[in-house]
Amino acid sequence: MNNEKIDQAKGRIEQAAGDLTNNEQLKDQGERHEQVGSIKERISDAAGKLQGALDTVQQKLDEKSK
């Protein structure tokens, strides 16, 4: 499991614990952790797509230089 998914899972657990204990601070903290994990996941996905595009461009440039 990657760190992004761990952050999201941790957030959901904190939210559930906050709900069970009526602890709004813990619930809010859980929501933030889940959101941070989701944002990290989107950034990681975008970085992977960008790297793929850069690799394709580099490959085409290498082919033209032969």
Please write the tens of the pLDDT for every residue from 11-55.
999 999 999 999 999 999 999 999 999 999 999 999 999 999 999
Return the pLDDT at 65. 84
pTM of the predicted model as reported, rounded to 2 decimal places? 0.76
Residue 1 has pLDDT above 80, yes or no: no
37, 4 in Cβ contact below 8 A? yes
- Contact at 8 Å (CB) between 36 and 6? no
Residue 56 has pLDDT above 80, yes or no: yes
- Domain range enclosing 28: 3-64
Predicted confidence band of residue 64 (pLDDT cuts 50, 70, 90):
confident
Domains in the chain: how many in total? 1
